[in-house]
Amino acid sequence: MRTTHLPGAIRTVRRRGRQVRPWLRADLRPWLSTGLVAARRGLALSIVSQLGCYPLVILSVVSLSLIPLGVGILTLPIITVAVRNLADLHRRFAGEWCSVPIASPYRPHTDQNFEPLDLPSSLRRTRSLLTDPATWRDLLWMTANIAVGLLAGLLPGWMIIYGIHGVVATPLFWPLMDDTYGYALTWPVHSTYTSVLAFFQGLAFLFFGFWSGTRLLRLHSRFTYRLLAPTEKTLLSLRVAELTETRSEAVDAQAAELRRIERDLHDGAQARLVAVGLKLGLADQAFKEDPATAYRLLGDARKANSQALAELRDLVRGIHPPVLAERGLDGAIRALALDLPIPVQVESDLPGRPQGPVESAGYFAVAETLTNVVKHSGAASAWVRLRHGDGVLSVTVGDDGTGGAVLRTGGGLHGLQRRLATFDGTLDLDSPVGGPTTVTMEMPCVL
């Protein structure tokens, strides 16, 4: 007959209990923490939805109904700003909380100089808003979000509170209550048996409260994506408008570049070559009568010819640097860095070369950015990093200067941003006051 040594068995149970408890803590704490965060976000979502959607739906409907009287023409553009800000806030919630990025679907306005409460300006803006499908989708989303946002936001928190009530309050205090006291949804709590049922029902509510919070937020994000994300037609129209704008800017930039080349040729190399011809003619006339003057004129002509050749090389280098064709983007930027008055560190892991136009655009973008660093940043050093991944060429230029750079309309960085947009490229600026400044430029390309 087998016997069990009691102290050894107790130690075994305790040891196994110590092994199980850390596992429970490690497993439940992240789950409970995630549930509480989701419930708190749901509460914020429901408050924002109710406080924002209710009044804005009413104001939008009233403004639309008052358009025939002229009052809605003045109020609708102002209310639409608030509606789009509310929609953008929910887009940000979906992106940050549930990793559901939602792009802006709104068409750009043709009248950039909008003046509120000015009838002609408000009429143009109202016409633009009424023909934008995103305006009507926003109104539909707000109307539906009054109920959807309330349900998705409050339900997890309500179940957690109701579950805590059932687990803690009902079993402890039901003997002190009268016969009308009832916690459960379907039965009154008036005995030990019903209080036990209420306890287990509370556990179920707690479980579903923590379990459903994140899932309801994801469902709300998908609902928001359905109504607030741009449709295929909208994306196509926005893309056409963007391509039209970038094509126009590319044509303007090309025309400006041709005018610059023409001006440099006319004022530089052409003028020097004309001077060379004049000096050679004078030297030819003076050669028989005054050889010394003729030799001096020939020396001046040779010097002017050398200067003209140097200016032509600079002009060619400005159009397409020979070093870029010979060494590629990496080598060209390293050669550019050597000519700057501050040390520039260049890091590159490009396994190949981009297409010619992208390579040229990247080189001149880095050149212009480094020129701005030298002129305006007060930096003691700078760095350039070249990366390629997922079909995107990424160029980062940074410095240890004073910072404070801004992307303002008409500025050099804004012009650089628009030129990169010709290649579907982007430019991001991070320049806090005090530095450092980082400019990140990305262009889709294959190597």
CATH of the domain at 423: 3.30.565.10
Q: Is residue 122 part of a domain?
A: yes
Q: Is residue 404 part of a domain?
A: yes
Q: Is residue 218 part of a domain?
A: yes
Task: Scan for tokens 């991944």, then name that residue.
Answer: 389
270 lies in the same domain as 174:
no
Mean pLDDT of 125-148: 89
Q: With 60 as the cut, is the pLDDT of residue 31 above it?
A: no
Q: Is residue 107 part of a domain?
A: yes
242 lies in the same domain as 380:
no
pLDDT digits (tens, 9 = 90+) for 255-286: 666 676 667 666 666 677 777 777 777 777 77
* Minimum mean pLDDT range among 8-22, 96-110, 302-316: 8-22
Report the share of the chain in percent with pLDDT over 70: 75
- Residue 344's pLDDT is 85
- Residue 246's pLDDT is 62
Mean pLDDT of 85-114: 82
190 lies in the same domain as 82:
yes
Mean residue pLDDT across the chain: 77
Q: With 70 as the cut, is the pLDDT of residue 182 above it?
A: no
pLDDT digits (tens, 9 = 90+) for 401-414: 888 878 777 677 77
* Minimum mean pLDDT range among 8-17, 198-207, 303-312: 8-17
Q: Is residue 9 part of a domain?
A: no
Q: With 80 as the cut, is the pLDDT of residue 90 above it?
A: yes
- Interatomic CA distance for residues 302 and 263, integer angstroms: 23
Confidence bin at 17 (pLDDT 50/70/90): very low
| Cis geometry, peptide bond prior to residue 436 (ω within 30 degrees of 0) | yes
258 lies in the same domain as 398:
no
Confidence bin at 353 (pLDDT 50/70/90): confident
Mean pLDDT of 167-177: 67
More confident residue, 368 or 22: 368
Mean pLDDT of 439-444: 86
135: left (phi over 0), alpha (psi -120 to 50) or beta: alpha
Domain boundary among 228, 254, 276: 228
In a 10 Å sphere around its CB, with 0-12 CB exposed, 13-18 middle and 19+ buried, how is residue 134 labelled? buried
- Residue 59's pLDDT is 92
Domain boundary among 228, 246, 262: 228
CA proximity to 265, closest of 227, 318, 202: 318
Mean pLDDT of 359-378: 82
- Residue 257's pLDDT is 61
- Residue 152's pLDDT is 83
- Residue 389's pLDDT is 83
Q: With 50 as the cut, is the pLDDT of residue 99 above it?
A: yes
Mean pLDDT of 137-165: 86
- Residue 54's pLDDT is 86
CA distances in angstroms from 437 to 116, 404, 418, listed in the order given: 37, 8, 20
- Residue 28's pLDDT is 56
Domain boundary among 166, 200, 228: 228
- Residue 16's pLDDT is 45
- Residue 24's pLDDT is 41
Confidence bin at 11 (pLDDT 50/70/90): very low
Q: With 80 as the cut, is the pLDDT of residue 188 above it?
A: no
131 lies in the same domain as 167:
yes
* Minimum mean pLDDT range among 54-58, 59-63, 293-297, 389-393: 293-297
Task: Give the rounded distance of the alpha carbon of 307 from its chain centre.
Answer: 48
Report the share of the chain in percent with pLDDT over 90: 6
Range of the domain at 274: 233-319
218 lies in the same domain as 282:
no
CA distances in angstroms from 176 to 169, 187, 190, listed in the order given: 11, 17, 10
DSSP letter (8 states) at residue 422: T
Task: Report the number of distinct structural domains present in the chain.
Answer: 3
187 lies in the same domain as 40:
yes
- Residue 150's pLDDT is 84
Q: With 70 as the cut, is the pLDDT of residue 362 above it?
A: yes
Counting DSSP H helices and E strands in the chain, the numbers are: 12, 5
* Minimum mean pLDDT range among 69-78, 147-156, 266-275: 266-275
307 lies in the same domain as 256:
yes
Task: Scan for tokens 């998705």, then name that residue.
Answer: 152
- Residue 83's pLDDT is 92
Q: Is residue 4 part of a domain?
A: no
Contact 443, 361 (CB under 8 A): yes
Helix segments in 168-269, DSSP class H = 170-173, 192-228, 232-264
pLDDT digits (tens, 9 = 90+) for 285-319: 777 777 777 777 777 777 777 777 776 666 666 56
Q: Is residue 367 part of a domain?
A: yes
- Residue 317's pLDDT is 60
188 lies in the same domain as 60:
yes
Q: Is residue 186 part of a domain?
A: yes
362 lies in the same domain as 262:
no
More confident residue, 176 or 226: 226
- Residue 141's pLDDT is 92
297 lies in the same domain as 388:
no
Task: Scan for tokens 């287990």, then name that residue.
Answer: 200
What count of other Cβ atoms lies within 10 Å of the Cβ of residue 27? 10
164 lies in the same domain as 272:
no
